[in-house]
Structure 1
């Protein structure tokens, strides 16, 4: 097994957990400030807080949700590549993907202007596409 490529995936997993903690650290006090007693609520979804909490508070939750979406493809791709092998360029693409997703998180959580955020997303998607194509070529 070619394990070096697992490192950027592990970094992104740790980053996702950091975003979870950041989201909770910002959201829970905001809920208390808005007099929303979470201990007495039943059901509910994060989307229910749109328009209730400040947008800057919700941005962390939006990003955490994003980290549960496309990066799942990254994790699968990394596992395939760890099994079948990869080039140095693919390893660089994996690190680039992880770095761009972290930059995307920071931008979305702190600034959240869409054009730059989309550019980070597009670049990370291209890195993932490069990896996926290489994974496919390596398996056929």
Structure 2
């Protein structure tokens, strides 16, 4: 198995996550300045200051947080699959599908798109991740 090729979806999702981080701060800093929010008053992630930010600013931050959650399972699984020798071309393909669906999920969320569409894409990505794990366990 091509080790680098198998792990390429991992680096792709990491790069995407860093791009969302840039979008988050490119929106958040100007919005906080426009709303005259003192950064020292924004210590709590759920503080009152958040309600002063537009939805698109909050949506980018929420998506960044989401990229710190379920994808951690994906990262751990991909390295486990590689190190355990159960990585396959099918799992590699499903990894790319998972990454693609996570990018679509991000685009929908960052643009404050329809929640049910975002949920559907998230569900497909989760089913993809579950399928990868089941395939590995059956190997």
Q: Match of 2:122?
A: 121
Q: Residue 47 in 1 paired to residue 69 in 2?
A: no
- The answer to whether the Cα contact below 8 Å between 1:23 and 1:60 also exists between their aligned partners in 2 is yes
- The answer to whether the Cα contact below 8 Å between 1:56 and 1:110 also exists between their aligned partners in 2 is yes
**TM-score in terms of structure 2 length:** 0.90
Q: Which ranges of structure 2 fall in alignment gaps of 5 or more residues? A: none
Measure, in 2, the Cα distance between the counterparts of 1:54 and 1:43. 15
Q: Match of 1:91?
A: 92
Structure 1 residue 72: deviation in Å? 0.2
Q: Which has the higher contact order (CA 8 A, sep 6+)?
A: 1
Q: Residue 106 in 1 paired to residue 103 in 2?
A: no
Q: Could you say if the C-alpha distance between residues 117 and 13 of structure 1 is closer, same or farther in structure 2, counting changes exceeding 3 Å?
A: same
Aligned length: 136
Aligned residues: CA RMSD: 1.6
Q: Match of 2:68?
A: 68
**TM-score in terms of structure 1 length:** 0.90
Structure 1 residue 95: deviation in Å? 0.2
- The answer to whether the Cα contact below 8 Å between 2:56 and 2:110 also exists between their aligned partners in 1 is yes
Q: Match of 1:80?
A: 80
Structure 1 residue 86: deviation in Å? 2.3
Q: Which ranges of structure 1 fall in alignment gaps of 5 or more residues? A: none
Measure, in 2, the Cα distance between the counterparts of 1:42 and 1:135. 47
